[in-house]
Chain A
Amino acid sequence: MPPMARYILRRLGHAVLVVFGVSIIVFLVMHLAGGSPLSVLLPPEASEAERRQYEALLGLDQPLYVQYWDFASQAVRGDFGQSIWYGRPAAGLVLERLQATAELAVSGLGLAVLVALPLGVLAAVYRNRTVDHAIGIFVVLGQSVPIFWLGMLLVLQFSVNWPLFPTSGRDSALSFVLPALTLAVYSMARLTRLTRAGMLEVLNQDHLRTARAKGMPERVVIFRHGVRNALIPFVTYLGLEFGGLLGGAVVVETVFSWPGVGRLATEAIFNRDYPLVQAVVFIVALVFVAVNLLVDLLYPALDPRIRLASAS
């Protein structure tokens, strides 16, 4: 088998394994939740016989592994059961909302990258100088601010005091600005720090010293030899960061009443809508695994060393 095919197959197998594990965790946690949508479906005065009947109807009287098998075999076909609250297929509800979250996460991540890359490079090039210290302060502040609080302050200032942007909702391009900015701050600090560390590592390497010794202008050294190499770990990290952003979106969506999966999840929990919670967590994890798989598959294209390593 050609080495690239083996690399791809191994990554695919790994992803399948992770998805299988996630399905077990999601199933067990929901089971831990009492597994009793009965308390929502049935009135409190329901008799024991009625309870039994409902349990049998929903398969809750079966052994755990049978219940898991039912759940998994339906999930594979994209069926997560009916949302108790909405009375519609849970998977469909999640997919509808996923777009809103994806828009938010992608614009947040894009904004974060646009700010973090130049800042990180700048901090590394001017290591231990004023610029680096100033960027360091920005990074530690960004890491310390609770994003839901930042979102509230932004609303207070830019929606209430100066009515420039809507306080909530997803109606116009303007309603994007504050939520995307809030979510971006979440990643900006970490990505800046990562870029700086990556650049510092690259800047110390021999081939850069050689490039300088040849008399190559510093600008070319930094951009052609430095940034390009520093970008490689950066790309892997973006995949991981995406998962953090999906988590951050839960909170940001609540602050801005953004109709995404995060708010869907919290609402579903308050409504004890277990099939919907199950669907949200599972589908979000699936998206995350897919993004990371994509990054892993893109990786050899960026870094020839990986191609060589997988060939040997």
Chain B
Amino acid sequence: MDVLPEAPALIEAPVRRVSKLRRLLRDPSGLLGVVVLGGVIFLALLAPWISPHDPERQNLKASLLPPAWLDGGDSAYLFGTDRLGHDVLSRTIWSARTSLLIGFSAVALAVLLGVTIGVFAGYVGGRLEDVVLRLADIQLAIPPILLAIVLAAAIGPSPTTIILVLGGTGWVVYARITRGDVLSLRDRSFVKAAVSLGAGHGRVVFRHILPHLVSPILIVATIEISLAILAESSLSFLGLGIQPPTPSWGSMLGDGRDYLASAWWLSVFPGIALMLTVLSVNLVGNWLRDVYDPRLS
């Protein structure tokens, strides 16, 4: 009987690690998400070597060519060309770079801001906490896209602006999660034990509190990446995000809208790429949530 207290710790760690991988293999949608997202990241990284044309090179002689398999198509341009003779396939591949870079960076910034603010609010408490909560309410009262549009217009559209805007407006959700968890962890016995052993605030926060936040933050952040990619493409679609000639799915779709009736391929291919990317990020996010927090599924 005296072996019992140790036993769970001995068994638990290796079993859990195996089961996460197993659960991925058993969850077809999670697996699909990982594979598709992996593919998109792969294409984005290899864009300079695999895209058949320079995405920004115009060729007015090859303007608005349909996809290669249709009448009048050119085998050099598999997905056809746009009004300025840009190769749609090359631009679609390069756009993956733009979207992933902005999606990941914006969320990284939002996590950094939100967790920092949340830790301070939860750990310090008092007046600071009140201020943070009110700020969060104020931020939530302005629809995020509207705020992003106005900010993007105010600072001037560029990839950096979009990252700053989406990152700067996305902190609220992480601050709330972090604050809530810090509040509950702060009074747990292991944290109190660390404090009574003389651990400083920094050590308590970094060694005893932050590690517990990794999985809830990771789950939310993954879903938020898909929202950031959608927000970037919406801004670019409206003409307030990535500016031509830099390729971006959103701005390609914005151009395609003018040719919806005559050149459908301008709207269909970038749209499919965008949707598959967002879908794969969501599937990965759902899978992470099922693995780390089964209560929510």
Neighbour of B150 across the interface among A197, A243, A269, CB < 8 A: A269
Bound complex: CA of A14 vs CA of B140, how far in Å?
13
Residues of the A chain whose Cβ atoms lie less than 8 Å from the Cβ of B278: 143-146
Q: Which among B3-11, B65-73, B102-110, B234-242 touches the partner chain?
A: B234-242
Interface: A30 (CB within 8 A): yes
Q: Which residue of A lies closest to B296 (CB)?
A: A197
Neighbour of A146 across the interface among B240, B256, B274, CB < 8 A: B274
A29 B230 Cβ-Cβ under 8 A: no
Interface: B202 (CB within 8 A): no
Residues of the B chain whose Cβ atoms lie less than 8 Å from the Cβ of A25: 138-139, 142, 147
1/0 contact trace for B234-271 toward A, CB 8 Å? 10011110000000001001001100110010011001
1/0 contact trace for A1-32 toward B, CB 8 Å? 00000000000001001110110011001101
Given contacts A145-B275, A146-B271, contact A281 B150 (CB under 8 A): yes
Residues of the A chain whose Cβ atoms lie less than 8 Å from the Cβ of B230: 146
A266 B238 Cβ-Cβ under 8 A: yes
Bound complex: CA of A14 vs CA of B130, how far in Å?
12
Residues of the B chain whose Cβ atoms lie less than 8 Å from the Cβ of A197: 296
Interface: B60 (CB within 8 A): no
Shortest CB-to-CB span from A224 to chain B, Å, is: 26
A29 B151 Cβ-Cβ under 8 A: yes
Residues of the A chain whose Cβ atoms lie less than 8 Å from the Cβ of B234: 146, 148, 250-251
Interface: B21 (CB within 8 A): no
Interface: A254 (CB within 8 A): yes
Interface: B282 (CB within 8 A): yes
Q: Which residue of B lies closest to A14 (CB)?
A: B137
- DSSP class of B's interface residues: helix, strand, loop or mixed? helix
B135 A21 Cβ-Cβ under 8 A: yes
Tell me the chain B residues, 127-150 only, with Cβ under 8 Å from chain A.
Answer: 134-135, 137-147, 149-150
Shortest CB-to-CB span from A187 to chain B, Å, is: 13
Interface: B178 (CB within 8 A): no
B256 A152 Cβ-Cβ under 8 A: yes
B275 A277 Cβ-Cβ under 8 A: no
Residues of the B chain whose Cβ atoms lie less than 8 Å from the Cβ of A233: none
Neighbour of A250 across the interface among B149, B155, B256, B279, CB < 8 A: B149
Bound complex: CA of A146 vs CA of B274, how far in Å?
8
Residues of the B chain whose Cβ atoms lie less than 8 Å from the Cβ of A29: 147, 150-151, 154
Number of A-B contacts (CB under 8 A): 145
Interface: B283 (CB within 8 A): yes
Tell me the chain A residues, 247-264 only, with Cβ under 8 Å from chain B.
Answer: 247-248, 250-251, 254-255, 262
Residues of the B chain whose Cβ atoms lie less than 8 Å from the Cβ of A22: 138, 141-142
Bound complex: CA of A153 vs CA of B268, how far in Å?
8
Interface: A284 (CB within 8 A): yes
Interface: B25 (CB within 8 A): no
Bound complex: CA of A30 vs CA of B150, how far in Å?
8
Report the count of interface residues on A (CB-CB < 8 A). 51
Q: Which residue of A lies closest to B271 (CB)?
A: A149
B267 A156 Cβ-Cβ under 8 A: yes
Bound complex: CA of A164 vs CA of B243, how far in Å?
34
Tell me the chain B residues, 28-50 only, with Cβ under 8 Å from chain A.
Answer: 29
Residues of the A chain whose Cβ atoms lie less than 8 Å from the Cβ of B147: 25, 29, 281
Bound complex: CA of A216 vs CA of B151, how far in Å?
56
1/0 contact trace for A68-87 toward B, CB 8 Å? 00000000000000000000
Neighbour of A149 across the interface among B151, B153, B253, B282, CB < 8 A: B253
Bound complex: CA of A254 vs CA of B238, how far in Å?
8
Identify which of B138, B260, B274, B275 gathers the most chain A CB atoms within 10 Å of its CB: B138
Shortest CB-to-CB span from A168 to chain B, Å, is: 11
Identify which of B142, B226, B256, B261 gathers the most chain A CB atoms within 10 Å of its CB: B142
Shortest CB-to-CB span from B263 to chain A, Å, is: 11
Shortest CB-to-CB span from B239 to chain A, Å, is: 7
Residues of the B chain whose Cβ atoms lie less than 8 Å from the Cβ of A292: 141
Neighbour of B283 across the interface among A26, A140, A152, A248, CB < 8 A: A140
Bound complex: CA of A269 vs CA of B239, how far in Å?
11
Interface: B286 (CB within 8 A): yes
Interface: A155 (CB within 8 A): yes
1/0 contact trace for A166-210 toward B, CB 8 Å? 000000000000000000000000000000010000000000000
Given contacts A149-B271, A277-B153, contact A244 B253 (CB under 8 A): no
Residues of the B chain whose Cβ atoms lie less than 8 Å from the Cβ of A21: 134-135, 137-138, 141
What would 16 more interface pairs be, CB under 8 Å, given A148-B233, A280-B146?
A: A18-B138, A34-B154, A140-B283, A141-B279, A143-B282, A146-B233, A247-B143, A247-B145, A251-B145, A254-B237, A254-B238, A266-B149, A266-B239, A281-B142, A284-B143, A288-B142
